[in-house]
Structure 1
Amino acid sequence: MAKKLFLIFGPVVLAGVLLLAILFSPFKLSHINSKTERQAAVSLSPNVLKGQVIKESALSHKKFVPFFGSSEFSRFSFSHPSVLATKYKRPYTPFLMGAPGTQSLTHYFQMQLVDPQLKNRKAVFVISPQWFVHKGARKDAFSFYYSPLQSIVWLLNQREDQKMDRYAAKRLLEMPSGKANHVIASALKRVAAGKSITTGQRTYLTYEKRLLQHEDQLFSSLKLKNNQKRIDHFAKQLPANYQIKTLDKLAVEQGKLHTTNNKFGIDNHFYQRRLEKKKNKFKNFERNWNYTQSPEFSDFELVLNQFASLHTNVEFVIPPVNQKWSEYTGLSPKMLKEFDQKIRYQLTSQGFTNICDLSDKGNVPYFMQDTIHLGWRGWLAVDQAVDPFLTTKQKTPHYQINSRFYSKDWQNLKTVPKMAAN
């Protein structure tokens, strides 16, 4: 009887033991090849954004430059950064670290997995005004791009009581995903209180980290979305040589061609699919919206703090909103200007001076592709700032992080003084 039971259950038990041995082994279980790195750079796949192994592998090569942002990266056109870099054989390849729903808090925690790869490097960061709503980051969107591996790596790297760490721990505890694991939640509570994690918590987190890293190594490269075909398609539309006047003319032609069914300069397909049938509902819908008072300002400070600690030199892009659409929805131009002044002050007062501020371009024809996303001419304007930044030597930045930007007072400050805003 024992022999029969062993023959039945023995292989299952043995397989389970072997699986556990593999998952908890100290060895790397996979190798990321160059093809996977290139595909992942433009995939916008959630498993890439919240994972470690692919980003770590790609960003270990200097040719891959992290581009942080959100849904604007999914709007491919001939002037998209990945298309221009491909067509004109730029010495860099954008690694798109953003997708619909990603905001500052997501970026901060995903950065924890590639700290060494960001150190003393360059990066591009697109700041969306729409992130800075009253409630800040959406909890469901944060959870979609969150992995416990992010918080575990972050917790294991805690060395001293810092304002940044206390704030980050409190914010993560406000998210359902941050409280899903009891040990992680308990460790976060200690950090939020300015304490170190316990020896027992560190031991658990160390083994859990190894397990999650192996899962990432085994599964993160599966089902990567292949956007390279779309990029190659748009690249074929471009002239052989980069001439900004020629490209701008092409942008105007493409903009005219794709915005024929509405008066807002919005892409035909987007307008027909998302706006046309319910356009009347949007009339003055945004008249009370406010981007100047939000916890997002302190979440954004986490990102700035991280860049400063890693000596990452960053080009920040502030896009506009579609002015024709914002006039229709009642979005206040005065409020938008106050937002621009506030975010610029938060950047420049701490030494982040590389800023491509396009906030006043919302009425330029074909600058936007839809209501809030950069379009044909918009991406060309970004390229005029980003390409020189990435291809020429830049001055070493000198950052002076100010913990004031973690305060409720700063989050709720509607306008900055005129002297400070300049």
Structure 2
Amino acid sequence: TYVGEAFDQSLWQAIAAGAYAPAAKNRKAVLMLSPQWFFKGNGQQSKFSSKFSYQLYKGFLENDSISDETKAYVRQRLETLGVDGTQIAAANDDTFVDAINDAAYQFSNDLRIRSKIDALVKGSPKNSLVRSAGEPTGEPDWDALLSDAQAQGEQSCTNNDYGIHDAYWDKNSQYKSEQNQDFVHADDEWADFQCFLKVCREAGLEPLVVILPMHGGWYDEMGVTSDIRAQFYDQARSLCDEAGVAYADFSSCEYEKYFLCDTVHPGWIGWVRIEHAVYDFVNGQDNAFLGGVE
């Protein structure tokens, strides 16, 4: 199950982990940790209230394995980030009136979701014939996939030297949000990331934190040097080690062409390497990028 979208940072992921944990059969979770979440001012936390999901938060609260302390931290953060207090109180059933509001919210959300089921089914991607058959196909041929990824990257990136796909470069080459950034002015986001790790521990999930690389050439151009970038990698690894969780550290791939398809998102090479690490993590196999507690 894939969850999350743009602007869903660590706090959203912590709530999601608590909500979905009871349904996770193999008790494993993978978090794609984005460096941009930890830009000055805590990334885009100001967007959180627009991404808040009442049902997700309710599911988080209904997970009895999550401590009252953790639930209190999340509630305080929701209030700080501008989530409607009426919804927070309703989800927590603070009073009799709040319990009535909760029932109304849940009924309304249920109707809204049911109204979209047909469209979701029609718009969902179709499985291949092999996947539909449900027959195991064995471990992927990673070398062949890397070769294909290299070829696709070369075909997609022809108008710049950064390994960024053409359409993005044409539209966004002047967009310089990374300029003069650092990773030591995001205490709230780092605390929320620790909350995610704590939720996983309390909910019985075994997480793999994927530490995404920055685009070395582009960040150099933006004045964010390797020493500055190391602040993010070092802190992410340190908190994972402190929590005793595994991580897939791709910081060594900053200058690997086609690992990213733009300045942010994994690309052709990147997805093969990431999926290989996740595959090995799930199956208890060694992988050069895996670290921490495996």
Q: TM-score range by the shorter chain?
A: 0.7 to 0.9
Tell me if the contact between 2:259 and 2:266 (Cα under 8 Å) persists in the aligned partners: yes
Give 1:203's aligned residue: 99
CA 1:384–1:161: 2 relative to 1, 3 Å: closer
Question: Where does residue 236 of structure 2 map in the other structure?
Answer: 343
Is residue 149 of structure 1 aligned with residue 55 of structure 2? yes
How much does 1:336 deviate?
A: 1.2
Corresponding position of 1:226: 123
**1:321 touches 1:373 (CA, 8 Å); kept in 2?**
no
Among 224, 232, 249, the alignment partner of 2:147 is 249
Equivalent residue number for residue 111 of structure 2: 215
Identity value in percent: 24
The letter for the 2-side match of 1:304 is L
> CA 1:383–1:198 in 2, change beyond 3 Å: closer, same or farther?
closer
Task: Give the structure 1 partner of residue 263 of structure 2.
Answer: 371
Offset at residue 386 of structure 1 (A)? 0.8
**Matched residue of 2:2: which SS?**
strand
Q: Give the partner amino acid of 1:200.
A: F
- Residue matched to 2:42: 136
Contact 1:105 1:137 survives alignment (8 Å): no
Q: Is the 8 A contact 2:61 2:71 kept in 1?
A: no
Aligned residue pairs: how many?
Answer: 277
Determine helix, strand or coil for the equivalent of 1:379: helix
The correspondence for 1:356, drawn from 224, 238, 248, is 248
Candidates 246, 250, 272, aligned match of 2:170: 272
Alpha-carbon distance in structure 2 between the residues aligned to 1:206 and 1:331:
46
What displacement does 1:227 show? 5.7
Q: State the partner residue of 2:215.
A: 322
- Over 3 Å counting, the alpha-carbon distance change for 1:262 and 1:185 in structure 2 is same
Residue 390 (str. 1) matches residue 288 (str. 2): no
Q: How does 1:19-418 map to 2 (within 5 A)?
A: 95-118=1-24, 121-136=27-42, 138=44, 141-155=47-61, 162-176=68-82, 178-179=83-84, 181-182=85-86, 184-186=87-89, 198-200=94-96, 203-204=99-100, 206-208=102-104, 210-212=106-108, 214-215=110-111, 217-224=113-120, 226=123, 228=125, 242-275=140-173, 278=174, 282=176, 286-294=178-186, 295-352=188-245, 354-392=246-284
Judging changes above 3 Å, is the alpha-carbon distance between structure 1 residues 327 and 227 closer, same or farther for their aligned structure 2 residues?
farther
1:115 to partner: Cα distance: 3.5
1:272-320 Cα distance to aligned partner (Å, 9 max, x none): 1222xx36xx4xx745311233111111122111110121112221111
Shifted more, 263-272 versus 217-226: the winner is: 217-226
Amino acid at match of 1:300: F
What is the rounded CA distance, in whole Å, between the counterparts of 1:185 and 1:247 in structure 2? 46
Q: Aligned in 2, Cα 1:158/1:170: closer, same or farther, shift over 3 Å? A: farther
Deviation digits for residues 90-148 of structure 1, max 9, x if unmatched? xxxxx221222211112222334323113761121110011112322535632333222
Say if 1:126 and 1:154 are closer, same or farther in 2 by CA, change over 3 A. closer
Letter in structure 2 aligned against 1:211: F
Distance 2:31 2:185 in 1: 21
Contact conserved, 1:152 with 1:209, CA < 8 A, in 2?
no
Unaligned 5+ residue runs, structure 1? 1-94, 192-196, 400-422
2:152 and 2:280 map into 1 onto residues whose CA distance is 25
C-alpha distance in 2, partners of 1:227/1:113? 23
Higher RCO (Cα < 8 Å, 6 or more apart): 2
Q: Which amino acid aligns with 2:9?
A: Q
AA at the equivalent of 1:317: V
Query: How far does residue 323 in structure 1 lie from its aligned partner after superposition?
Result: 1.2
Note the C-alpha offset of 1:165: 2.5
Equivalent position of 1:413 in the other structure: none
Query: What RMSD over aligned residues (CA atoms) do the two structures have, in Å?
Result: 3.3
Change (3 A) 1:139 1:218: same
Unaligned runs of 5+ in 2: 132-137, 287-292
TM-score (normalised: structure 1)? 0.58
Counterparts of 1:158 and 1:355 in 2: how far apart (Å)?
27
